[in-house]
Amino acid sequence: MSKKRPPVEELTYEEAFTELETIINTLEADEQTLDEILNKFERGQELARHCASLLDKAELKTKQLAGDEITDFELDE
Amino acid sequence: MVQPSLFPPSAWTVSEVNRYLRDLLESDHNLADLWVQGEISNLSRPRSGHLYFTVKDESAALRCVMWRNNAQRLSYLPKEGDSVEVHGSVSVYETGGQYQLYADAIKPLGEGALYQEFLRLKAKLEAEGLFDEDRKRPLPRWPRRIGIVTSPTGAALRDMLNTLRRRYPLVEVILAPSPVQGREAPAGIVAGLRDLNRAAVPDVILLARGGGSIEDLWAFNDEGVARAIAASDAPVITGVGHETDFTIADFVADLRAPTPTAAAELATPNRDDLRIDLDEASRRLAQIVQSEIGEQRWRLNELAGRLGRLSPEAHIQRDRQRLDELTRRAITSLTHYFDMQRAHLGAAEQRLTDLNPQAVLSRGYAVVTGADGRSVRSVNQVEPGDALDVRVSDGEFGVEVSGGKPPA
């Protein structure tokens, strides 16, 4: 009875890392079938990889607000 | 009567007089370190970088000079007509024959009044509870969108963006540009905070400005700015001026950072720390699964062992072993039985041997037999004159009863 879970690559860092923490806590706390354990392990590994790739690839997005308009903004170097 | 001297003392040179006066003034403690209060006039700053001006009051004027090295360090640049306090020492400019103040610091006279205003507003807002600890909102652990209210051209913005880029580039930054000093600043900051909350809905807002004089930072002591911070939906981190500068905005903010860079640091997790957390999480995950699989394997082995003990082959094996055991026990017990029988037989033979009359006769006993052939066991069986047979170990002979005692 596993819930429908969104694909890992669509998650934000916060969502992915929080789910990873939840998986670890569940695995540590509850008795699970081997099948469930392996499923969760696989999902956990995907989440960890996704988080690492977010950290590696992220580039700061800068925008600016003029009244209610949000426009792109680049600081002149 | 004093005679006029024929040779009056020689006259001083101008240089000697000025040098003498200079030494005189410079040896005076009061003139070596003093604050002078007055109004700036005749201000000039030639290309040399030195600052020349006059400080005057209603009835007097004092020439002042500030050398370039001091003038460059001024956070407050005086203007004509400013009321100021000037610090320095008084000495003589020998070339011009003028005494003047050699200034090393200038501060606006209004500073004291500003500070009084600061204290009044701080007390008022504090009494309203705007600084209360329980008003402070928690900061998001992983902000997605950070609003920044600052000058678009200041070093503060550059510092904050560099810090965010280095620590946590996952975030989106929305700048609400606003002047951060001067008359326009308070309204700009208020509008920036309001617009960010309405149009950008950031997770946290940084309100920041680089270092400056107390006048430069004054917008952050504005009551309207303080109330806009308190009214912000998103938590606000201030990073205004330097470490030692405290503004009203700092007291109202959910968190006060000592500098703009520090504000950006407090708003975000550090990517390096996140990598460490992530590695730790992956390691724990693998460890849990490995130990779980290990336990399952152990259980499997145990079950396999129990199943093996229940198999028919094992049953036969076990019966065969039991049969062997029984056989061995049977043989042992038979052997024992024979040994026992043998022992009994030996004992019987011995007893038989003991009962053999011949053996008795050989110890000196004799068997006496009457004429009727029965063995004599009592005196009543015989009469004097009866002929009896006596048997000893190696033969027989006859005897005759010669007398006897009556039975007792």
Tens of pLDDT, residue by residue over A43-77, are 999 999 999 999 988 888 999 998 778 888 877 65
Asked if the C-beta of A58 comes within 8 angstroms of chain B's C-beta atoms, the answer is yes
For residue A62, is it within any domain? yes
For residue A28, is it within any domain? yes
Q: How far is B106 from chain A (nearest CA, A)?
A: 35
Domain boundaries, chain B: 14-109, 131-269, 273-309, 359-400
Residues of A in Cβ contact (< 8 Å) with B164: 60
DSSP B379: G
Q: What's the number of domains chain A is made of?
A: 1
CA torsion B267-B271-B276-B281 (nearest 10°) is 80
For residue A25, is it within any domain? yes
For residue A63, is it within any domain? yes
Task: Tell which CATH architecture fits domain B131-269.
Answer: 3-Layer(aba) Sandwich (3.40)
Of B284, B202, B144, nearest to A14 (Cα)?
B144
Asked if the C-beta of A42 comes within 8 angstroms of chain B's C-beta atoms, the answer is no
> Which of A28, A65, A75, A77 is the mutation pick for testing B, counting most B CBs within 10 A?
A65
pLDDT of B249 = 95
State which residues form the domain around A32.
Answer: 8-72
For residue A3, is it within any domain? no
Tens digit of pLDDT at every position of chain B (408 positions): 556 666 777 899 999 999 999 999 999 999 999 999 998 999 999 999 999 999 998 889 999 999 999 998 887 788 888 889 999 999 999 888 999 999 999 988 766 667 778 889 999 999 999 999 999 999 998 999 999 999 999 999 999 999 999 999 999 999 999 999 988 999 999 999 999 999 999 999 999 999 887 778 889 999 999 999 999 999 999 999 887 778 999 999 999 999 999 999 999 999 999 999 999 999 999 988 888 888 888 988 998 888 888 888 888 888 888 889 999 998 888 889 889 999 998 888 888 877 777 777 888 888 888 888 888 888 888 888 888 899 888 888 988 888 766 665
Q: Which of B173, B198, B278 sits opposite A60 (nearest CB)?
A: B173
Contact B278 A48 (CB under 8 A): yes
Residues of B in Cβ contact (< 8 Å) with A48: 278, 281-282, 285
Residue A1's pLDDT band (cuts 50, 70, 90): very low
d(CA B288, CA A28): 7
> Which of B149, B158, B284 is the mutation pick for testing A, counting most A CBs within 10 A?
B284
H/E element holding B337?
A: helix B312-355
For residue A47, is it within any domain? yes
Superfamily of domain B14-109: Nucleic acid-binding proteins (2.40.50.140)
- 8 A C-beta contact, residue B174 and residue A65: yes
Residues of B in Cβ contact (< 8 Å) with A24: 281, 284-285, 288
H/E element holding B54?
A: strand B51-56
Q: Which of B164, B198, B278 sits opposite A51 (nearest CB)?
A: B278
For B28-54, b/e burial (b = at least 16 CB within 10 A) is eeebeeeebebbbeebeeeeeeebbbb
pLDDT of B163 = 96
**What is the identity of the amino acid at B276?**
I
Look up residue B50 and give its two tokens. Answer: 């030195």
For residue A59, is it within any domain? yes
Q: How far is B19 from chain A (nearest CA, A)?
A: 55
> Which of A25, A36, A45, A62 is the mutation pick for testing B, counting most B CBs within 10 A?
A62
For residue A64, is it within any domain? yes
Residues of A in Cβ contact (< 8 Å) with B147: 65
Asked if the C-beta of B273 comes within 8 angstroms of chain A's C-beta atoms, the answer is no
